[in-house]
Amino acid sequence: MINFLNNVSILILPLIITAILSYAIYKKTPAYEVFVDGAKEGFTLAVKIIPYLIAIMVCTAMLRASGVIGIIENWLGPFLTHFKIPTQTTLIMLTRSLSGSATLGVLADIINQTGVDSYATKLAAVITGSSETTFYVASVYFGAVGIKKFRHALLAGILADITGLILAVFVCSKFFL
């Protein structure tokens, strides 16, 4: 079953790409020019996240080198191992609702620490992929139209975040353990 599902994962991208290109043929879209135009943004995007990545990765590296992260991981260790959660993923669970680029930085740090094919990396990757930064989105979207009274928006978002975290731990343990 899991093998089959893993194959589904692998097939999704080729299927999407085939669908997009087939539709482009049908609509006679100048696919090459449009592709090149869109691909330019890859550079802008990468350059735009550099300062954030530096800030967060330096922060986490300092916290790790000074032993602060080690202390926190030791505290939470027994609780986390009980649920088969790698202790290295502690930090990413905290950053995911706060900042997208911070979460990317922490993911990169986990890859550095545990290797790219480790379970900790896979869990962290799913956590990163399934997180949209609640506080950032709220301030941007509501800020843009001048809403001051957020009512239950943040609470609902955070409850969904917590559910997402628990689900990520559960689904990953089924897929990758």
Partner 1 sequence: MNYIFIFLILISIFAAFFTGSIENLINEALNASKKAVEIAFSLIGIMGFWLGIVNIAKKSGLMNKISKIIEKPILYIFPDLKSNPEAQNNIALNISANALGLANAATPFGIKAMEAMQEQNKNKKRATNSMCTFLAINTAGFQIVPAVVIAILSANGAKNPTEIILPTFIVTLCSFFVAMFFAKILERFFE
Residues 37-66 contacting partner 1, CB under 8 A:
37-43, 45-47, 49-50, 53-66
Pull the structure tokens for residue 175.
């897929």
Does position 12 interact with partner 1 (CB under 8 A)? The reply is yes
In the list 93, 99, 119, 120, the residue contacting partner 1 (rule: CB under 8 A) is: 99
Does position 75 interact with partner 1 (CB under 8 A)? The reply is no
d(CA 150, CA 76): 33
Does position 85 interact with partner 1 (CB under 8 A)? The reply is no
- Looking at the Cβ atoms of 10 and 78, the one nearer to partner 1 is 10
- Looking at the Cβ atoms of 59 and 76, the one nearer to partner 1 is 59
Overall size of the chain counted in residues: 177
Q: Which stretch binds partner 1 (CB under 8 A): 73-81, 82-90, 102-110?
A: 102-110
The answer to whether 52 and 105 are in contact (CB under 8 A) is yes
Residue type for 17, please? I
